[in-house]
A = this chain, B = another copy of it.
Amino acid sequence: MNVIADFSVVPIGVGVSLSRYVAACQEVIEESGLSHQLHGYGTNIEGPWEEVFAVIKRCHERVHEMGAPRISTTVKFGTRTDRDQTLRDKMSSVASKL
């Protein structure tokens, strides 16, 4: 089962500047080799279910290791059985209708 996901990680208890945690999480995502795209309020990522959620878990582990005692994350994700679809397909499909 393939997943297209979007997630954002909010470290709690480490002050208001969160970008270095977001950057660390971005490195974890890059290490995974999965297709991904950072945006202004999270990151798109796609791949097999187990791999996508393993990456999100490693982000939590990494951000905890950096000293964040608490993390709150929001993930939106979709699966479909009618056809294969990539992030790029989704973007193209919307773009063609604009």
Partner of A1, one of B5, B27, B61, B96: B61
B82 with A73: CB separation less than 8 A: no
With known contacts A10-B10, A77-B73, A39–B49 Cβ distance under 8 A: no
A window 54-98: CB within 8 A of B: 57, 60-61, 64, 69-82, 87-88, 90-91, 93-94, 96-98
Q: How many copies does the complex hold?
A: 4
Report chain B residues within 8 Å CB of A97: 19-20, 22-23
Interface residues on A, range: 35 or more
Residues of B within 8 A of A37 (CB): 39-40
A residues near B, CB below 8 A?
Answer: 1, 4-6, 8, 10, 12-13, 15-16, 18-20, 22-23, 26-27, 37-42, 44, 46, 49, 53, 57, 60-61, 64, 69-82, 87-88, 90-91, 93-94, 96-98
